[in-house]
Amino acid sequence: MTIFSAKNIVKNYAAHRALSGVSIDISEGSVFGLLGPNGAGKTTLIRIINQITAPDSGELFFEGRKLVASDVEKIGYLPEERGLYKKMKVGDQALYLAQLKGLSRRDALKRLKYWFEKFEIQPWWDKKVMELSKGMQQKVQFICTVLHEPKLLIFDEPFSGFDPINANMLKEEILELKSKGSTIIFSTHNMASVEEVCDNIALINKSHKILDGQIDEIRDRFRTNTYEVKFKGELSALQQNLNGNIEILDHAEAKRYNTIKLKHQLEISNNEMINLIAPAVDIVSFSEVIPSMNDVFIRVVKEANQN
């Protein structure tokens, strides 16, 4: 089921176009990666979803009906540019932000207690924000984002400012939220984390959506018939069997076996490939190199910019 969709969103600023006819559909309970180079229009789209700015044209749907103002209470947003009131106490601040999201003071207190215990940060309650380190502030901010148990969560570069241990903890929290039924929009430049947590992605470049779909399907779509083969035997025998229809990208000779990375020029299945090599050499391992999201990202954006 689709929890949120945007149809043909157009947004112009005085000098430039931030979004031209972008449509996205986000299914409930999934993690949706919103990708794109800097300045592509991601933040504008996120702000439109949060109703911080209005699109010039296009329609927004939430839970099957038009998005309305009160829906902000069902959305949690952790912006890339984030901060807290420096001179306010951590507890007061969290209560304030929770009340702005429509929680009653009592509910907010109860839930904050749970999260502060979970993150083991109870001693911070009466501290001023300026006394906390950046990473500590990020934790408080994360709690404030999820406290009202929103159906849709939007994380814009959530890992910036976290050390690897806390970044990992945050990733696990995000996955736990997903398992509890929250839908998550995830915007980042860290493609490794996209592969780990996202189900679907959309790639925006220069105000246009240039790619979207399921992450495995996309990687599959961009396969380049590249293989990595470890074998015992002669490289020339292997080349002969492949009729020269290959391009050798990398070749390393070790004592016991050779490792080769090669690209076949024709559309060919893995089994056919194995059948071609097997008679010539002794295969130790065989794997197709599926492009990483990083590769896909770079390739798609470069192609789009060339056109």
Partner 1 sequence: MNKTFIVLQREYLTRVKKKSFILLTFLMPLIMVSFIFVPILLEKVDKKEIQTIAVVDQSGEFQDAFKDNSYMKFQYVDPGKLEETRNDLKKNNFYALLQIPANIYTSNEALLFSDRQITMDIERGIRNKLESIMEKTKRDKLITELSIPDLEKRLASTKTSISINSSKISEDGKAQKSSAGLASIIGGITGFLIYMFLIMFGQMVMAGVMEEKSNRIVEVIVSSVKPFQLLVGKIVGIALVGLTQIVMWVILSVGLVFVAKAYFTTGGDGLAEAQNLMAQNAAMGGEQMQQFSNAKAQEVFEIISGINFPLIIGAFVFFFIGGYLLYSSFFGAIGAAVDAQEDAQQFMFPIMLPIIISFMMMISVVRNPDGPLAFWGSMIPLTSPIVMMARIPYGVPLWELALSMSILLASIVGAIWVAGKIYRTGILMYGKKASWKELLKWLRYKNY
Contact criterion met (CB below 8 Å) for 207 and 219: no
Of 2, 5, 27, 53, the residue at the interface with partner 1 (CB under 8 A) is: 53
Q: How far apart are CA 277 and CA 196, in angstroms?
A: 33
Name the residue type at position 299.
R
State the sign of the Cα–Cα–Cα–Cα dihedral 246, 252, 257, 261.
Answer: negative
Q: Is 186 in the site for partner 1 (CB under 8 A)?
A: no
- Considering beta carbons, is residue 31 or 48 the nearer one to partner 1? 48
- Considering beta carbons, is residue 144 or 191 the nearer one to partner 1? 144
Cα angle value 108/159/43 (rounded, 5°): 85
Q: Is 77 in the site for partner 1 (CB under 8 A)?
A: yes
**Least distance (Å) from partner 1 to the CB of residue 73?**
8
Q: Is 100 in the site for partner 1 (CB under 8 A)?
A: yes
Of 3, 94, 97, 296, the residue at the interface with partner 1 (CB under 8 A) is: 97
By CB under 8 A, which span of 60-68, 93-101, 107-115, 286-294 interacts with partner 1? 93-101
Considering all CA atoms of the chain, what is the largest pairwise distance in Å, rounded to the nearest integer?
76
Helix locations, the chain, DSSP H: 42-49, 90-100, 105-118, 134-146, 164-179, 191-197, 215-221, 235-241, 270-277, 293-306
- Considering beta carbons, is residue 103 or 293 the nearer one to partner 1? 103
State the sign of the Cα–Cα–Cα–Cα dihedral 117, 123, 127, 131.
Answer: negative
State the sign of the Cα–Cα–Cα–Cα dihedral 50, 48, 65, 175.
Answer: negative
**Least distance (Å) from partner 1 to the CB of residue 236?**
59
Q: Among candidates 19, 8, 24, 27, which has minimal Cα distance to 184?
A: 27
Q: How far apart are CA 248 and CA 29, in angstroms?
A: 43
Of 18, 84, 277, 281, the residue at the interface with partner 1 (CB under 8 A) is: 84
**Least distance (Å) from partner 1 to the CB of residue 86?**
6
Applying the rule CB under 8 A, the residues between 21 and 50 that interact with partner 1 are 47, 50
- Considering beta carbons, is residue 46 or 202 the nearer one to partner 1? 46
- Considering beta carbons, is residue 88 or 210 the nearer one to partner 1? 88
Cα angle value 131/137/142 (rounded, 5°): 155
Of 6, 22, 101, 146, the residue at the interface with partner 1 (CB under 8 A) is: 101
Q: Is 13 in the site for partner 1 (CB under 8 A)?
A: yes
By CB under 8 A, which span of 97-105, 107-115, 165-173, 287-295 interacts with partner 1? 97-105
- Structure tokens of 282? 């002794």
By CB under 8 A, which span of 58-66, 92-100, 261-269, 276-284 interacts with partner 1? 92-100
Q: Is 54 in the site for partner 1 (CB under 8 A)?
A: yes
Name the residue type at position 31.
V
Question: Applying CB under 8 A, which residues contact partner 1?
Answer: 13-14, 47, 50-54, 56, 69, 72-73, 75, 77-79, 81-88, 96-97, 99-101, 141, 144
